[in-house]
Amino acid sequence: METRHTEPAAASSRTARVVRFLFEPPPGVRPEAVRTFVLLTVGTLAATVLHLAYVFIFLGLGATGMAQLNLVSIPTYLLAFLLNRRGRHAAALAIAVIELCVHQVCAVYSIGWAAGLQYYLLVAPACAATLPGRRLAVKVWITLPALATFLFLLANSDIVPAHAVDLTVLLVLGAINVASVFGLLGLFVYHYAGAAEVAEARLQQEFARAESLLHNILPVSIADRLKRSGNLIADGFADASVLFADIVGFTDLSARMEPARVVAILNEVFSALDAAVERSGLEKIKTIGDAYMVAAGIPEPRADHAEAVADLALEIVTIARETGDRLGIPLRMRVGINSGPVVAGVIGQRKFLYDLWGDSVNVAARMESAGVAGRIQVSEETHARLADRFDFEARGEIPIKGKGTMRTWLLVGRKEVAA
C-alpha cells in the first residue's frame, strides 16, 4: 500500500519539476521581461509540438518537402526556446518570426489557403507586444515581416497549390489551425489579464502604503493639500500652543549603553508618546534626538489648544516615569509649553517636514531647556489661558536665553472640581 501511494507522489513531483524548469524564469531573466519569457516559452514549445505533428500530416498528404521543412523547423524553435531562457527574448522572437514567414509561404503554396496555416502569422504581432520597455524598433521589425507575409499570401490566396488535397481534409486542417491560433491568442490575453490584475493589486497596495507613509510624515489635511496643488504650503495661526519635551540626562545615559539598547528605549518612550498624542488629537511635529515636539491648534485651529497640550504634558511626564520604572533606569522628561502666534508649513523637496516657526516656538523651546527635570514649565502666555482650570507653582522670573528674564510657572495638575 505504501508503495502505491509513493509512486503517484513521485510522478507528481517529477511533473512539477519539469513544469518549473520550463516555465519558471531563470535567474538571468529581468523582472520586467517575465511575461515575455512565459509567452515565448509557451509559443516555442507549442510550435515544436505542432511542427512534429505536421511532419506526419504532410507525409500522409504526400507533401514530402513540407514534411522535411517541418523537421528542420523543430530544432529552430528549440533554439528559440533556449535563447529565450538565456534572456535573449528579441533574438528568440526574431528566429521564430523568420521561420514562421518562410514556413507559411511554403505551406500555402504547397497545400493552399484553405488549410489555414497562414493564420499563425497573426501570432507574431501579439508576441512582439510582450517585449519589455519601449523597444519600438524591435517590435516593428518583428511585426512588419509577419503582417507583410500575411498580406502577400492573402493577395495570392487563389493560387493553385502544388499538392491536390481533398477539400474535407483541408477544411478539417483549417478548423484545427484557426482554433490553435485563437487558442494561442486567447492564452496571451488570459496571461495579460492576469498580469494586469496582479499589477493593479500591487499598485493599489503600494498606493495605500505610500498614503500611510505620507500621513505619518505630514498631517492628513496638509498631505491632501500638497497632493492636490503641489504648491508651497505656509499658514499663519494667530493662536496655538507648542510643547517641547526632552529626556533629562539621556546623552550621558546612552553613552554607557549599547546602541541597540539606546534605540530600543527611545522607541518605547516615543511610541508611547505617539499613542498619547494620537489620543489627544494633537499634532506631533518631529523628534530631535531625544527631544519631542508637539503642537495644538494647528493645522486645524481649536479653542482649547492650551488645555489640550497641558493635559498631554501631564501624561508625558507620567509615561516617562512609568517607562523608566519598568525598564529599571532613571527616565524623567523636562517639558516646556508656550502659546501664541506661529507660522507652519512644509519645507524641502525630499523627506518632507511639516514644521513651525516664530517667536512662540522659540519661547516654548526655552521653557523646556530652562525647565526642571520631571516637571512642566509654562510661559506667562500659557499660564494666562489655564490659570482657572489648572494648579501651578510660581517659579518667578528666570533668565531665558535670548529673551532676558521671564516669569514662568510649573504646571502641577488640574484643579479639583468641588462637589
For residue 344, the surrounding DSSP H or E stretch is strand 333-347
3-class state of residue 333 by DSSP:
strand
pLDDT score of 343 more than 50? yes
The identity of residue 232, as a single letter, is L
DSSP 15-84: HHHHHHHHHSPPTTS-GGGHHHHHHHHHHHHHHHHHHHHHHHHHHHHT-HHHHHHHHHHHHHHHHHHHHH
1 band by pLDDT with thresholds 50, 70 and 90: very low
Q: Hey, CA dihedral for 117, 121, 126, 130, is it positive or negative?
A: positive
89 band by pLDDT with thresholds 50, 70 and 90: confident
The identity of residue 409, as a single letter, is W
- CA-to-CA distance for 310 and 320, rounded, in angstroms? 16
Q: How large a percentage of the chain has pLDDT more than 70?
A: 90
111 and 177 in contact (C-beta within 8 Å)?
A: no
Q: Hey, CA dihedral for 100, 101, 107, 112, is it positive or negative?
A: positive
402 and 371 in contact (C-beta within 8 Å)?
A: no
pLDDT 10s digits, 145-193: 888 999 999 888 888 888 888 888 888 888 888 888 888 788 777 777 7
- CA-to-CA distance for 381 and 241, rounded, in angstroms? 10
Q: Which pTM does this prediction carry?
A: 0.57
pLDDT score of 116 more than 90? no
232-414: CATH topology: Alpha-Beta Plaits (3.30.70)
- CA-to-CA distance for 77 and 48, rounded, in angstroms? 6
Nearest CA-CA partner of 165 in 61, 307, 79, 68:
61
Q: Which is more confidently placed, 34 or 360?
A: 360
378 band by pLDDT with thresholds 50, 70 and 90: very high
- CA-to-CA distance for 160 and 267, rounded, in angstroms? 84
- CA-to-CA distance for 364 and 40, rounded, in angstroms? 67
pLDDT 10s digits, 248-303: 988 888 888 888 888 888 899 999 999 999 999 898 988 888 899 999 998 889 99
Q: What stretches of 305-418 show up as alpha helix (H) in DSSP? A: 305-327, 359-369, 380-386
Domain residue ranges of the chain, discontinuous segments joined by +: 2-208, 232-414
For residue 6, the surrounding DSSP H or E stretch is helix 2-23
- CA-to-CA distance for 88 and 131, rounded, in angstroms? 11
> How is residue 54 written as a grid cell?
505536421
3-class state of residue 409 by DSSP:
strand
Which residues neighbour 131 within 8 Å (Cβ) at sequence distance 6 or greater?
33, 36, 89, 90, 93, 138, 139, 142
pLDDT 10s digits, 90-112: 888 888 888 989 988 998 898 88
- Omega prior to 125 cis, within 30 of 0: no
pLDDT score of 408 more than 90? yes
- CA-to-CA distance for 386 and 112, rounded, in angstroms? 97
Nearest CA-CA partner of 154 in 188, 105, 219, 203:
105
pLDDT 10s digits, 223-251: 777 777 666 677 888 999 999 999 998 88
Report the half-sphere exposure of 213 (CA within 13 A, side-chain side). Answer: 8
Q: Hey, what's the torsion of the CAs at 391, 397, 400, 404, to 10 degrees?
A: 140
The confidence score (pLDDT) of residue 105 equals 92
Average pLDDT, the chain: 84
> How is residue 245 written as a grid cell?
519635551
Q: What stretches of 115-245 show up as alpha helix (H) in DSSP? A: 123-128, 136-155, 167-217, 220-229
Q: How many CB atoms lie within 10 A of CB 16?
A: 10
Please, what is the Cα angle at 153 between 148 and 158, to 5 degrees? 155
For residue 111, the surrounding DSSP H or E stretch is helix 89-111
DSSP 8-class letter at 351: S
